[in-house]
Structure 1
């Protein structure tokens, strides 16, 4: 029987190739999904851990009990160690100056910065600069640059001293480790320690250090040894801790994502199941085609002595061989596609720390091969059972669809209705939990369960309602002529098969529509969240201080020049002051830093105007963290005391955690001589953040004023790009499901042609032209694809909105968006693919002359 099976596979190589393509794409999708999951995780971790370079371990402590870096370096297994720290200095050349962050040199494995020209500094009179900063100052390798830095005396007084180190290198920050400060200058460790100690008047405590483990040394053993050295734990729960870089990045990622890492993993792994479901439907249809083609052969085998078990095993053996071979090819294809995607990303110089190569784990290889083979065999079970029932006189009779009159049909209908109703109920509950009750974990779990259950109900019950939808669409199309009416009638010849094929396409389109809708809603919601986290695109503040340590004014001319920079949309002046806040009778006064801003101008300059909600004359807007520390609530009164006087204001608790605001009108009453110390800048939406920040820094540098530019817009743009990259990977993977489903459309049309061979010949004999027959099959393909695509878009919008509400509700109001361009593109592709899928079946139908086709029946 095995020889017969192999011979049949050789004779059906063309048809098996179609099934094999579906399996290859399905398993490639699974493999690529698993690889993408690893790449996304790696990218996220590397973006967060960029400041640690290539460190293996990170050691942390508190400011009260800091680290001894020398003791860390002396620990067995440690190859290199460097403190994670930075300071600031003013760099000047002629009339240009830049307020720049500075870090010490370290082992090259612990430096996130790359040298693009020259070398790292190794002596006290050397410095390396970010390439754009050197450009801004007009200096290059071999030139000197003036460094203005603060020195604090033992009596608390301070003064500025100047040095002129030589520029020995130009630097690049490829992964944005210092994006917020526009890169970092580098000096040798001894110089850095001197600068930090003199600036603060005492040695600076090291609270975090990055460690490289020696080659050939066990990382876990070194981690344990370091934990013993610092007297801490291998968990960040302890005051002193030693963790791997990935663990530190995972902890930071969990803080950023609200602890939704598990949900993300479930979300990604769901794609694998989706691919297999779609591929399984297509494979089942393909084997139905094969069984229909071999009906007479199978009947003949029964006549010459083959029993039902042998015939069934032959079909399943064929499925197993096909599944195994195609799954292995799918893993290879998925790996090649994943690696190619990385090469393209690197060639396009994507500013995201993507790995150079994909990481092949046993799961990436074994899981797709094993599951792909099992799904193929499982999908062939029903066709195998059909094969055992083949009789010579009924070889090509199509299977009946389930009906209400049969018990199996009633059970199927009841179960599908129950699953649909309960599933959509859970989906709604998940959206409510995520938005109204701010429970994203429970909301996402309920949403995933509800979405899966409701969709199972929709798919299982599709055989009852989907043919009716196709019939309704067919009646609309049928008005165009007899060819269209024939095509519409053909979609109802075998409702089960039509429903199965449309369901396969329905799954793929639903997922793409769901993800594009969810991505559009997530983009809007994440933008709002980033607006709240980064309320100001660019901040320019004075870096000069008076003799008493008070911040000096930011020059009027500089503020005017900055406001005219191309790309700067709105600006507002701010004043930073430190006052004593006293609330309640007999309360102890606490220091409270305040930012004075005009509410109207501030609303224009801030990304999120809600940050200033509640700020008005007579009211101080206290950040909720500071309000908690001071025991203040909205409506309370607080007395603010400055050197010039005191005033009592009403309290409003703001959305910001640590920033408190005062109106400029109240500032004038409290401290009339308070200078304007900085300005908030909002960049235009269509401007490149990095270029705009650079232009602002150029203006500041040209002014000769001592001012600091903090361009959080650049860091925000990096976050935006990471989000876009992840969403692009996800949507790209899901688009593969549509390709798999479209193969099913071609298979269904092929089976339809086989079953209607005599009918097609009769139509040709009574005058139907070849063009009309082609048109009939084309319209049939368009109907099957169009119905599945339109229904998939509708379901995708519902699932996308509900998923966004469940997952993103914790960020605030979720804006539900419709990605019209993507939805239109999906519909167009589905219709065109349905049209293209009719080409091969049409050629088959037209290949045999009408008389010959009638004779063979």
Structure 2
């Protein structure tokens, strides 16, 4: 427990690195976009675009930090689930639960330090490349752009703090491990046990309800001022925190719905049951992808809704928005690249937790092989289970993303000159195609290597694993 295993924590380090790189790139690109806007003869005279740009940057930094924290928490929870027996053995020979948890949080701090430093380097390279490419291709003028400013320390500090806190939150299970568990195998909470968390479930409902009300308030406030987006961000974080906290209530119904579509063959039926039998494990695996799909959908819907609001406003008052189109296109293009960081963080989280979960179920797979499951049936079961988790995550993420994207567009641009007021959410047609293609890729990525490893273990060896 006191040895930092780089291989075990490599995915967590990658998540921390991506989160830092996202924040650093975002601040550097936003700073340089502000320089470009200030130099524009038409738009530079108005501070509105600059204010909106600063608000967008703040929103995305909060999102990136939040995504990284949730994915890291789930990763540490999965790691701890696999260490249950070794922790119990340490307890058996005299170690306290608190000392074991402190050891895990130290690991989280080390992950944060490595990720923050790596992210600063990568983020600076990415933002520099984006600006240089935009200058070379004449998308933006060649001005005195700057990159390394003290403000880039902010996302580094945020990721370091959230990674440490995520390791602390993810390791809370250490406190419940008893010395007696040294004699048994790793056991996840059953469906009935997960349903018994009344306090946590109530807190989840309260957070989601309060957040939804704030989202609605942000939309109403956005009809008066773009500051409404700040209310909406708070509401979005609270409501999605409710989804994360209550994921063991949210995900099982979606998993059941998808499970019915897997077919009636033995591997598919067993996969469908596995996904809902242990909701804690399934929720821990899927919530990162839910975040990623929610972000991509939210950004796509928000961008399309932004465009519809601005187009309507330009028709009503064309003189106000003269010359804004190139800047809006550049801004949307840059943020489209940056939002990919958050989606990548979530994808890494899914593949990581799915792989760890599969590798920790060696005894379960050995028992199935001993009962007559062939290697090909085992691989089919793992692929079906991965598909169920991915598809259910994407369904939930799309629904949430449409709501958040529409609320974000309305609360930010509902008050601009010539605004038509409230509009319906705009869902780009390409979004569904991208999500469907991503589902296939992620299912293959998350299941191929673990399935291959699991099918190669003989039943005797698997059942003998401690």
Q: Same fold (TM over 0.5)?
A: yes
TM alignment of 1:741-820, pairs within 5 A? 741-810=346-415, 811-813=418-420, 815-816=423-424, 817-820=426-429
The answer for unaligned runs of 5 or more in structure 2 is none
8 A Cα contact 2:29 2:131, kept in partner? no
Does 2:167 align with 1:380?
yes
Instruction: Quote the offset at 1:524 in angstroms.
Output: 2.0
Shift in CA distance, 443/279, structure 1 to aligned 2, threshold 3 Å: closer
* Structure whose alpha-carbon radius of gyration is higher: 1
Provide the secondary structure at the position in 1 that maps to 2:40: helix
Tell me how far apart the structure 1 counterparts of residues 81 and 236 of structure 2 sit (CA, whole Å).
Answer: 35
Hey, what does 1:421 align to over in structure 2? 209
CA separation of 1:361/1:719 partners in 2, compared to 1, >3 Å: closer, same or farther? Answer: same
Q: How many angstroms apart in 2 are the aligned matches of 1:23 and 1:354?
A: 33
The yes-or-no answer on 1:720 pairing with 2:348 is: no
Relative contact order (alpha carbons < 8 A, sep ≥ 6): 1 or 2 greater?
2
Q: What is the 5 A alignment of 1:458-497?
A: 458-477=243-262, 479-497=263-281
Note closer, same or farther for the CA distance 1:729–1:765 as it changes in structure 2 (3 Å cut).
Answer: same
Matched residues in 2 for 1:313 and 1:444: separation?
38
Aligned to 2:445: 836
Q: Which moved more, 1:838-847 or 1:777-786?
A: 838-847
CA distance in 1, matches of 2:236, 2:96: 44
Distance in 1 (CA, whole Å) between partners of 2:115 and 2:227 is 39
Q: Is 1:15–2:8 an aligned residue pair?
A: yes
Deviating above 6 A after TM superposition, structure 1's stretches of 4 or more consecutive aligned residues are none
Whole-Å separation in 1 of the counterparts to 2:90 and 2:237: 42
SS at match of 1:35: helix
Higher helix share: 2
Distance 2:407 2:96 in 1: 52
Aligned counterpart, 1:35: 28
Q: Is the contact between residue 292 and residue 395 of structure 1 (CA under 8 Å) also seen in structure 2? A: no
Question: Is the 1:48–1:253 Cα contact (8 Å) retained in structure 2?
Answer: no
Q: Does 1:452 align with 2:449?
A: no
Aligned to 1:507: 291
2:186 to 391, 396, 400: 396
Name the SS for the 2:437 alignment partner.
helix
Answer whether contact 2:208 2:243 (CA < 8 A) is retained. yes
Output the TM-score relative to the length of structure 1: 0.50
Check conservation: 1:47, 1:353, Cα contact below 8 A: no
Q: Are the structure 2 counterparts of residues 253 and 844 from structure 1 closer, same or farther at C-alpha, using a change threshold of 3 Å?
A: farther
1:274 equivalent in structure 2: 63
Q: C-alpha offsets along residues 197-251 of structure 1, whole Å, 9 cap, x if unaligned?
A: xxxxxxxxxxxxxxxxxxxxxxxxxxxxxxxxxxxxxxxxxxxxxxxxxxxx4xx
For 1:368, the equivalent position in structure 2 comes to: 155
Q: Flag structure 1 segments of 5+ consecutive residues without an equivalent.
A: 51-248, 536-655, 657-714
> Cα distance, 1:395 vs. partner?
4.8
* Matched residue SS, 2:2: helix
Alpha-carbon distance in structure 2 between the residues aligned to 1:527 and 1:445: 24
Deviations 1:361-392 (A, max 9, x none): 1220x223322222222111244343352530
Following superposition, the deviation at residue 357 of structure 1 comes to 5.0
- 1:334 Cα shift? 0.9
CA separation in 1, counterparts of 2:96 and 2:242? 37
Relative to 1, partners in 2 of residues 1:481 and 1:321: Cα closer, same or farther, differing over 3 Å? same
Partners of 1:282 and 1:23 in 2: how far apart?
10
SS in 1 for 2:186: coil
**Contact in 2 for aligned 1:508/1:734 (Cα 8 Å):** no
- For 2:75, the equivalent position in structure 1 comes to 286
* Offset from partner CA, 1:257-313 (integer Å, 9 cap, x none): 4xx81x543332122222222222222232233334444433333344433333222
For the 8 Å contact 2:229–2:412, the answer to whether it is kept is: yes
Q: Which residue of 1 aligns with 2:114?
A: 325
Q: CA deviation at 1:780?
A: 1.7
User: How far apart are 1:751 and its partner, in Å?
Assistant: 3.4
CA distance in 2, matches of 1:355, 1:534: 28
Q: TM-score, normalised by structure 2?
A: 0.89
Aligned pairs for 1:644-655 within 5 A: none
In structure 1, C-alpha distance between the alignment counterparts of 2:192 and 2:337, rounded to whole Å: 36
- Residues 108-119 of structure 1 aligned to structure 2 (within 5 Å): none
Of residues 815, 822, 825, the one that matches 2:434 is: 825
CA 395–27 in structure 1, closer or farther in 2 if over 3 Å, else same: farther
Question: Does the CA contact (< 8 Å) of 1:416 and 1:461 recur in 2?
Answer: yes
Going from structure 1 to structure 2, the CA distance change for 1:764 and 1:734 (only over 3 Å counts) comes to same
Give the CA deviation at 1:329.
Answer: 0.6
Kindly state the Cα deviation for residue 506 of structure 1 after the two structures are TM-superposed. 1.7
* 1:737 matched to 2:335: no
Question: Post-superposition shift, 1:725?
Answer: 1.4
Judged with a 3 Å threshold, the aligned counterparts in structure 2 of structure 1 residues 303 and 272 are, in CA distance, closer, same or farther, namely: same
Superposition deviation, residue 49 in structure 1: 7.9
1:25 aligns with 2:18: yes
CA distance in 2, matches of 1:792, 1:746: 17
Structure 1 residue 767: deviation in Å?
3.4
Which position in structure 2 is the counterpart of 1:179? none
Q: What's the CA shift string for 1:100-142, capped at 9, x where partnerless?
A: xxxxxxxxxxxxxxxxxxxxxxxxxxxxxxxxxxxxxxxxxxx
Residue 44 (str. 1) matches residue 37 (str. 2): yes
**CA shift for structure 1 position 471:** 1.7
User: Tell me, what secondary structure is at the counterpart of 2:46?
Assistant: helix
Q: Secondary structure at the match of 1:801?
A: helix
Whether the aligned pair in 1 keeps the contact of 2:258 and 2:391 (CA below 8 Å) is no
Q: Give the distance between the partners of 1:36 and 1:784, measured in 2 at CA.
A: 35
Residue 760 of structure 1: how far off its partner (Å):
0.7
Alignment match, 1:581: none
Mapped partners of 1:319, 1:444: distance in 2: 32
User: Which residue of the other structure, out of 305, 309, 313, is the alignment partner of 2:98?
Assistant: 309
1:493 is displaced (CA, Å) by 3.6
Change (3 A) 1:854 1:302: same
Match for residue 562 of structure 1? none
> Does structure 1 retain, via aligned residues, the 8 Å contact 2:292–2:347?
no
| Structure 1 equivalent of residue 225 of structure 2 | 440
CA distance, structure 2, for counterparts of residue 746 and residue 442 of structure 1: 37
Q: 1:404–1:837: structure 2 CA closer, same or farther, 3 Å change rule? A: closer
Is the contact between residue 189 and residue 279 of structure 2 (CA under 8 Å) also seen in structure 1? no
- Looking at structure 2, the residues matched to 283 and 412 of structure 1 have their Cα atoms a distance apart, in angstroms, of 20
Q: How many residues align?
A: 459
Change (3 A) 1:474 1:356: farther
Q: Do 1:342 and 1:355's aligned partners in 2 also have CA atoms closer than 8 Å? A: no
